[in-house]
Amino acid sequence: MYEIRIHSRGGRGEVTAARLLAPAAIHDGKYATACPFYGAERRSAPIVSFVRIDDKPIRTYSQIKKPDLVVVLDASVMETVDVLQGLKTGGRVFINSAHKRELSGFSPCNVDLTGIALKENLTVAGHQS
């Protein structure tokens, strides 16, 4: 089973990302689940979503404690949340950031997704520029 944990802030697309990734995996012939985790938080509060992908039916629908991949859609959440907690040895980290971030023991993939969206005049965080 491949497990993905997505970190961001409320309203920045983390729940939507999980809900798009799971059906994409299903379309590719896999089994998948998407599970957001949030309470009564307000917009911009730290939020986490989980995606599981496997070749066989998935019977677990809960938080992911030891992900294979961590996706950080809003790098500012890294100031208050340990996004690397439980990341498996050899796990991967994908960060939406205009600035290269070094992480002890990991080689993150840094991509300025927000910058690309702005350049292409796409909607960012629910607002068009």
Q: For position 123, what pLDDT does the model report?
A: 67
Question: The tokens 């599981």 sit on which residue?
Answer: 52
- Alpha-carbon distance 65 to 46, whole Å? 17
- Alpha-carbon distance 69 to 40, whole Å? 26
Q: For position 129, what pLDDT does the model report?
A: 46
Beta-bridge mates of residue 109: 94
Q: Which of 120, 99, 118, 119 is nearest to 110 (CA)?
A: 99
> Could you give the maximum distance between any two Cα atoms of the chain, in Å?
43
Q: What is the pLDDT of residues 19-38, one digit of tens each?
A: 999 999 999 999 999 998 87
Domains (ranges, CATH) in the chain? Answer: 2-119 (3.40.920.10)
Task: Give 14 or 81, the one with higher predicted confidence.
Answer: 81
Q: What is the pLDDT of residues 36-84, one digit of tens each?
A: 887 666 677 888 999 999 999 999 888 999 999 999 999 999 999 999 9
> What's the pTM?
0.87
pLDDT tops 80 at residue 121: yes
- Alpha-carbon distance 9 to 17, whole Å? 13
